[in-house]
Amino acid sequence: MMLFFCTIVGLFLAALPNVLWLIGWVIGKMLDYCLPYRWFGWTALLLVVSFYLLMAYGYYIGRFNVEVKEMQYSHASIPKSFDGFRIVHISDLHLSTFDDAPEELAKIVERINGLSPDLICFTGDMVTIGKKEALPYTNVLKRLNARNGVVSVLGNHDFMIYAFRGDDEAREESIRDLASFQTDSLGWHLLRNEHMVIHAEDGSMITILGVDNACCKHQGFKSINKGDLAKAIKDTDGFRILLSHDPSHWSAEVVPNSDIPLTLSGHTHSAQIRIFGWTPAKYAFTEVAGEYSSGDQTLYINVGLGCTAPFRIGVNPEITLITLKADSKH
């Protein structure tokens, strides 16, 4: 697939200057002017060479150049006993990414564990097509270690939207298999429109909410809307963190319909390409990567660890370390 993609784009880049030259040549003939070809030929060569160099970097270096980003988050509703509580946020594993380099996933797990997290939050897209992608990585994923375990939600790819076309029964069975894989095989806390409470020794608590993929904006590609925020938030109060795969859910429903302080998302990958600050993801998403705020509510988007196409250019795979800080007035 990668070779096919590079070949098609390479041919397009090679053809584009030649087509422009041909148009200019025809116009020049009409005006009795001979348009020289030299610069168009050199431009075509430069475009093709630059493209293949970028792809080579993205494939061999960029897709495994993992970056740890750290942020401190304070809010008046964070109990003092949770001051310093360390959350590692990861997203979009797309485990087939590691089929040709499984050792890279093992390095990621070691790096996460080395951050001594109190909680690991995974915001969806374990796979790209189906559960079989995950099976070879059972043992390495079981090594993820946090004092309060791993909590997860399902992303759009986890609903097998690119598989089982026309066979809804097989798709639903595969979704159930992936869910049981996370809970039974890995021991994760999978939240499907529900919540879990973490208690401190003094009786104070924080609540982690999780919703199935909630797509609230047309993005020009397949998605699915299974999220039920009202169900997940029912009978909760105090400091809450929402795990919701698609960040469009935040501005569409979370902000107008709740007072949840912190939402963690993934999904965008920041299109896996950012050059001089520009990313095509901005044409599909209002919130693309990193931290956003609206009043007293905050969204953080992790750009993921895996790939849907096997390259990353200017968008490093991300592990986010979030340290909670109790407001001094609390």
Q: What is the mean pLDDT of residues 300-309?
A: 96
Q: Could you say which of 21, 43, 59 is where a domain stops?
A: 59
Q: What is the reported pLDDT for 13?
A: 67
| Residues 23-81 pLDDT 10s | 877 877 777 677 677 777 777 777 778 888 888 899 999 999 999 999 999 999 999 99
Higher pLDDT, 21 or 204: 204
Q: Of 59, 83, 101, which residue is a domain's last?
A: 59
Please tell me whether residues 7 and 135 are part of one structural domain.
no
Q: What is the DSSP string of 236-264?
A: --SSEEEE-S-THHIIIIIHHH---SEEE
Q: Are residues 286 and 174 in the same domain?
A: yes
Instruction: Please report, for residues 15, 41, 52, 103, 280, the alpha-carbon distance to residue 45 in angstroms, rounded to integers and kept in the order given.
Output: 10, 6, 11, 36, 24
3 Cβ contact list (under 8 Å, min separation 6): none
What is the pLDDT, as a whole number, of residue 330?
A: 40
pLDDT digit string, tens, across residues 165-214 = 667 888 899 999 999 999 999 999 999 999 999 999 999 999 999 999 99
Q: Are 126 and 153 in contact (CB under 8 A)?
A: no
Average pLDDT for 82-111: 97
Residue 163 and residue 283 in one domain? yes
- What pLDDT does 181 receive? 97
Kindly state whether residues 187 and 213 are assigned to the same domain.
yes
As to burial, measured by CB atoms within 10 angstroms (0-12 exposed, 13-18 middle, 19+ buried), residue 36 is exposed
Are 199 and 281 part of one and the same domain? yes
Q: Which residue range forms the structural domain that includes residue 16?
A: 2-59
Does residue 92 surpass a pLDDT of 60?
A: yes
Instruction: Indicate whether 166 and 202 sit together in one domain.
Output: yes
Q: Are residues 102 and 231 in the same domain?
A: yes
Q: Is the pLDDT of residue 140 over 50?
A: yes
Per-residue b/e over 106-139, b at no fewer than 16 CB within 10 Å? bebbeebeebebbbbbbbbbbbbebbebbeebee
Structurally, the chain folds into a number of domains equal to 2
What is the chain's mean pLDDT, rounded?
90
User: Given 59, 79, 106, which residue is the final one in a domain?
Assistant: 59
Distance CA 231, CA 216 (A): 17
Q: Is the domain of 262 the same as that of 192?
A: yes
Does residue 102 share a domain with residue 236? yes
Confidence of residue 221 (pLDDT cuts 50, 70, 90): low
CB 93 within 8 A of CB 136: no
278 versus 221: the higher-pLDDT residue is 278
**Residues 155-171: what's their mean pLDDT?**
83
* pLDDT at 3 > cutoff 70: no
Q: Mean pLDDT across the stretch 266-282?
A: 94
* Residue 119 binned pLDDT confidence (cut-offs 50, 70, 90): very high
Question: What CATH number does residue 218 fall under?
Answer: 3.60.21
State pTM to two decimals: 0.89
107 and 11 within one domain:
no
- pLDDT band for position 218 (50/70/90)? low
Same-domain status, 170 and 273: yes
Confidence of residue 314 (pLDDT cuts 50, 70, 90): very high
- Shared-domain flag, residues 195 and 293: yes
